[in-house]
Structure formats: structure tokens, C-alpha cells
């Protein structure tokens, strides 16, 4: 069972309050540590549920809020994850997989209201892979190959007060390792698969199913120079740009 299934009654009853507190904290005091925790929390929800369901839940708080979260947090903060101390290896993997799933399975991001944000999110995920490679490899993310409790090294939190409450809430339910095991058990993301290759495969499927999708977002033959890393990634993994 997924995280939402395990705590469905609590989430359904308090979802608006939970995220209202999170977004209020984000607006008043946006720190890298807080952003990392928020990205992992949202990432776990996306990993184990239909991405469209999570988008609808967050947009139910305020129209367009999920797009704002992607634009102001994920796109800005993703590339920093692999270089920060105290971020669990498997937490980064969960975020990687969740963003791959969002890019390849969410109709809202492929053809819907957030389709204009698709290319910027892809660029940020690729930048995360590049940063991780410089710091020990995208699969291991600079951590050990042994996915055991030593990888569950979360940032420290206070024993009481808001910060403690937030982190206890963030890590309720499954650990990142258990989340990854659930993903692998589904057969969608087998252990040992290079996450960059997995991303490229998923993007290729999106491109094949939506002619003109990639070429339009990449700006044709010349395009935006800031997207050169995206083009290079797609070429290296033989993704057909339709």
C-alpha cells in the first residue's frame, strides 16, 4: 500500500491544513533545508499515487498552486540537492523518480494547464543528474551502494515547536528506502536501472505519443541556448525529437 493509502483518513481530513502550513512557512522563511523536506514529501506522494491526483489535491487548496510549487521550489532547488549535506541518498532517488513520473505520466504537464512548465522541469531534473554525477554518480548520489538504515540520515530537527512538527509530519509513514522498494516491486523502476536512462526512456515515450511536443519546447533546430544541456542529454540517450 502507498503512503496515501496508509494515512488516507488523516490526509483527506487535514490535507488543506497540512499544505497551508507548509506553504505559509515557504512564503515566510524559504530555506534550502525546508525546500528539501517539502520536495521529498511531495515526491513520495507522487511516487505512490497517480500524479494527477496529487496535482488536483494541491490545486484544490488554490488554483495553480501546484504549478507555483514546481516553478518556485522544484525548478529552482533541484540541482542543489546532490551537493547538500544531510540529504539522504534515497531521498534524492525518490525525488528523481517522482519528477520523472510527473514529466511522463501527468496529462496536466504534457497537454494540460502546466505544459508550458514541462521543459523547465526536465531541464532541472537533468541538472540534478549532472550535479550528482560530479559528486559520485547519479545512481549512488555520493552515498553507499548499501540501501540500509545508514542512508536514512535525515537533517536534524528540534525536539519541539514548528520545525519538529514539520519534520515529523514530513517523514510520517514509509522511509525513502521503503518507498523505493514499493516502486521496484511494481516493476516500473527495477533496482539497478540508471535513473538517467529511465528518464530518457520516459521522455522518448512522451515524444512518440505527442508528435511535435519536444521540438516545439526545444525551439526548433537552434532554439534556446539555455536548453543545450537538455538537447545533449536527449541525443546521448537516443531520444527521437519529433
pLDDT at 60: 87
Q: What is the DSSP letter of 7?
A: T
**Percentage of the chain lying above the pLDDT 90 cut:** 33
pLDDT score for 220:
55
Q: What is the predicted pLDDT for the residue at 170?
A: 45
Can you give the C-alpha Rg of the chain in angstroms?
A: 17
pLDDT, tens digit, 9 for 90 and up, residues 117-172: 999 999 999 988 877 554 544 333 333 334 333 333 333 333 334 444 444 444 44
- Residue 189 confidence (pLDDT) above 70: no
- The owner of cell 533546430 is 221
**Stretch 21-26: mean pLDDT, rounded?**
87
Side-chain-facing half-sphere of 220: CA atoms under 13 Å: 2
pTM exceeds 0.85 for this model: no
Place of cell 495553480: 64
Summarised one tens digit per residue, pLDDT across range 105-122 is 999 999 999 999 999 999
C-alpha cell at 154: 535525515
Other beta carbons within 10 angstroms of residue 148's beta carbon come to: 9
Amino acid at each position: 500500500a502507498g503512503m496515501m493509502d496508509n494515512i488516507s483518513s488523516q490526509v483527506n481530513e487535514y490535507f488543506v491544513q497540512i499544505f497551508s502550513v507548509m506553504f505559509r512557512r515557504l512564503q515566510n522563511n524559504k530555506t534550502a533545508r525546508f525546500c528539501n523536506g517539502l520536495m521529498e514529501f511531495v515526491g513520495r506522494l507522487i511516487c505512490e499515487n497517480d500524479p494527477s491526483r496529487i496535482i488536483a489535491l494541491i490545486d484544490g487548496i488554490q488554483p495553480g498552486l501546484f504549478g507555483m510549487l514546481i516553478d518556485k521550489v522544484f525548478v529552482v532547488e533541484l540541482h542543489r540537492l546532490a551537493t547538500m549535506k544531510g540529504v539522504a541518498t534515497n531521498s534524492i532517488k525518490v525525488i528523481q523518480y517522482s519528477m520523472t513520473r510527473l514529466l511522463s505520466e501527468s496529462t496536466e504537464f504534457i497537454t494540460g494547464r502546466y505544459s508550458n512548465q514541462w521543459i523547465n522541469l526536465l531541464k532541472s531534473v537533468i541538472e540534478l543528474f549532472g550535479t550528482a554525477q560530479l559528486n559520485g554518480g547519479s545512481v549512488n548520489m555520493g552515498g553507499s551502494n548499501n540501501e540500509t538504515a545508514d542512508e536514512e540520515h535525515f537533517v536534524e530537527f528540534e525536539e519541539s515547536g514548528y520545525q519538529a512538527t514539520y519534520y515529523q509530519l514530513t517523514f510520517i509513514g514509509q522511509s525513502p528506502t521503503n518507498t523505493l522498494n514499493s516502486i521496484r516491486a511494481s516493476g516500473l523502476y527495477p533496482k539497478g536501472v540508471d535513473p538517467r536512462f529511465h528518464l530518457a526512456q520516459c521522455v522518448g515515450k512522451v515524444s512518440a505519443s505527442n508528435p511535435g511536443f519536444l521540438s516545439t519546447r526545444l525551439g526548433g533546430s537552434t532554439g534556446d541556448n539555455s536548453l543545450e544541456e537538455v538537447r545533449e542529454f536527449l541525443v546521448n540517450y537516443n531520444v527521437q525529437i519529433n
